[in-house]
Copies of this chain bind each other. A is one copy, B any other.
Amino acid sequence: MAGALASMMVLAMSGQQALWGGGKSSPQVNDDNTVTFSIKAPMAQRVEVQLDYGVLWPLERDTAGVWTYTTGTLAPDLYLYNFVVDGVKTLDPSNVYTMRDVATVKNMFFVGGQELLYQAQDVPHGQVSAVWYDSPRVGKSRRMMVYTPAGYDQGNQRYPVLYLLHGSGGDETAWLHQGQAAQVLDNLIASGQAVPMIVVMPNGNVDEQAAPGSDQRGLVTPTFQHKQWMEGSFESTFADIMEYVERHYRTINKQSGRAIAGLSMGGFHSLYISANQPKDFGYVGLFSAAIRPMRGVQSPIYDNLEQKLAEQFRQGNKLYWVAIGKDDFLYQANKEFLALLARLAPRYTYVESTGGHEWRNWRIYLTQFVPLLFK
């Protein structure tokens, strides 16, 4: 029997390798931070690799039908990629790690090891929970992800809370996956750069209960399009989330113990939630935020922004942090908003980065913003 079990496993493994493997592991991150991709495709006429959403690079075929491509030196970061084999998008059969961004699935890899904040390190880890809560203002039960820091389960300490919001096309899992938020928090807290905090990641699409695949809609294709989209419904029902969190976690329930931040649509949500609840958030982060409501949208949530912001700053906001990339299509809208802040805010922080409307930037902004909180 023991022998049979071992044989079965060897069989299962070699069966797989015979069918799919190319003998080489892919991707291979080389010592000089170049990366070699390889895939066995003897019948293919053309094989390309797409790094993130960039151009297609052609691979070269060897006599055994293994195609390879080696990049130039890559900066330490999280990267996505896929192959294109004779025009068909193909994931790397040698790499089990994938990441979904809206309706696109790609393989992932890291360049940079122990210094990379996005990767799990040998440090104490927080707990991540998929939490269903009743939302009476929405009229249904909904799901959010909650990070509690290492040590939360060992005492009676109360913790500050960061509400961290995703963008259009995202859901409550986006910051954990593309954003690597749990790893970032673990690593920043372990090194003393950030204070231990709870991070609450709700679902900003009020017309869905949970991320695609996690509620009774079944395995629907994720989409940017939602019936309730940037029209006030998330902002006006956000209190349900705060009330649940403050009732079920050991939180510091005052302005100086609450932060709200988000990317793109989540920045927009952060802007208007904090402006409409001027005493609630000590810290606000807008990452590549949308600023103005969609054309034709009417909601009291979006009325009188100037007066609301002025009141928010009078109430003693501690940090108003705005970041955007020079190539972002929301750059101009953010510059106009900064002019408004310059008139209204006693102080605010502006970070201008390279790049555009992309996760690479939002991960960087998270690592910059979190160390500023609750100090």
Task: Give Cα A46 to B44, complex, Å.
Answer: 11
When the two chains form their complex, are residues A125 and B105 in contact, meaning their CB atoms are under 8 A apart? no
Q: Is A213 interfacial (CB 8 A cutoff)?
A: yes
* B contact residues around A286 at 8 Å (CB): none
Given A3-B295, A329-B5, also A91-B90 (CB < 8 A):
yes
| Closest residue of B by beta carbon distance from A333 | B1
Contacts known (A1-B333, A219-B108); A132 close to B141, Cβ less than 8 A:
no
Q: Chain B's nearest CB lies how many Å from the CB of A330?
A: 7
- Return the CB mask of A316-341 against B: 1 if under 8 Å, else 0: 00000000000001101100000000
1/0 contact string of A1-39 vs chain B (CB within 8 Å): 111111011001100100110000100000000000001
Give the complex CA separation of A100 and B105 in angstroms: 14
In the docked arrangement, what's the CA distance between A119 and B248, Å?
Answer: 28
Q: Is A363 an interface residue when CB atoms closer than 8 A count as contact?
A: no
- Distance of A317 from chain B, by nearest CB (Å): 24
Q: Is the interface of A mostly helix, strand, loop or mixed?
A: loop
Q: Tell me the A71-107 residues at the B interface (CB within 8 Å).
A: 85-91, 93-98, 100, 102-105
CA–CA, A42 to B86, complex, Å?
8
With a CB–CB cut-off of 8 A, which chain B residues contact A98? 98, 105
Q: How many residues of A contact B (CB 8 A)?
A: 88
User: In the complex, which residue of chain B has the Cβ closest to the Cβ of A143?
Assistant: B125
Q: Is A344 an interface residue (CB 8 A)?
A: no
User: Smallest CB-CB separation from A334: which chain B residue?
Assistant: B1
Say whether A128 contacts B129, CB under 8 Å: yes
Seen from chain A, the residues whose Cβ lies within 8 Å of a Cβ on chain B are 1-6, 8-9, 12-13, 16, 19-20, 25, 39-46, 85-91, 93-98, 100, 102-105, 108-110, 113-114, 119-122, 124-132, 141, 143, 150, 153, 168-169, 210, 212-216, 218-219, 221-224, 248, 290-295, 329-330, 332-333, 357
